[in-house]
Structure 1
């Protein structure tokens, strides 16, 4: 039992003694949640599988074996994930086989890239308000949407800075244990 003031951490599991079925259920459950959020099914499964691997790196054959899918399904999924910068492709040393790596800061990177998308949306929304007239019902609705994205944009920079500081503290703590 942890003493007062000490953080309680879950017991570390030996990767060799993991319940493969429990890991598979986690991968499928998380992938399903990604699908619910709008990501295609197979890229969701591949991403969750990579995320759940200790190294964060798997070959196409390893992904196919773990997910019980064809090489073509894996290929299409990693192509999608590469295009949205959620995984990287690298060459296995001394081999012609590709390995796929989940980025260590994938959520941070995804939100950072979203920043430029929001900036483009803001510019288009400004044009929409001007075109529709800011006093028209549609112009007012577009203006409120613009205000929302401007608010999000302003908050995102501070939130990302707080996350970097928090992540650095987590990593420093992990190195100490």
Structure 2
């Protein structure tokens, strides 16, 4: 089996895993196609042809992936088509977005505690929830910053 086919197989395997985790299957396939390609960028037509999906499906996937910071639209001199590539730093950006979710969970726990008070089983569970998510939010930002510094030092 050649390298290109092995990369496509690996991409499909990851896409299946991501879709089992809740990402729409087509979105996962577009993301992994851009992650595993040896091309610098791909057009919507490239993605459509490689994945055997409709242009509308590619468009919908792109509309989901760009705001997440996983892919980006890039200029291609001499081409009138949009080109997309997997974004450098995408993983750290994606994880940074999780911080907002952590803050939402802290706020939800605080709202529950306001309603439940500080005593009882509900309060005990909500305090644990609040403390856990507050701790994770506190640790996430410096962890991502440290990773970015380490990566930049190793890879320039």
Pair in the same fold by TM > 0.5: yes
**d(CA) in 1 for partners of 2:5, 2:112:** 52
Matched length: 156
Give runs of aligned pairs for residues 42-53 of structure 1, distance below 5 A. Answer: 42-53=26-37
Q: CA deviation at 1:56?
A: 4.7
Regions of 4+ moved over 3 Å:
none
Give runs of aligned pairs for residues 85-100 of structure 1, distance below 5 A. Answer: 85-100=69-84
Match of 1:156 in 2: 140
| Closer, same or farther: CA 39–167 of 1 in aligned 2, 3 Å | same
1:117 aligns with 2:112: no
Larger radius of gyration: 1
Match of 1:41 in 2: 25
Cα root mean square deviation, aligned? 2.0
The counterpart of 1:137, out of the listed 113, 116, 121, is: 121
* Larger RCO: 1 or 2 (CA < 8 Å, sep 6+): 2
Give runs of aligned pairs for residues 38-77 of structure 1, distance below 5 A. Answer: 38-77=22-61
The answer for unaligned runs of 5 or more in structure 2 is none
Match of 1:26 in 2: 10
The answer for unaligned runs of 5 or more in structure 1 is 1-17, 173-177
Normalised TM-score (structure 2) = 0.88
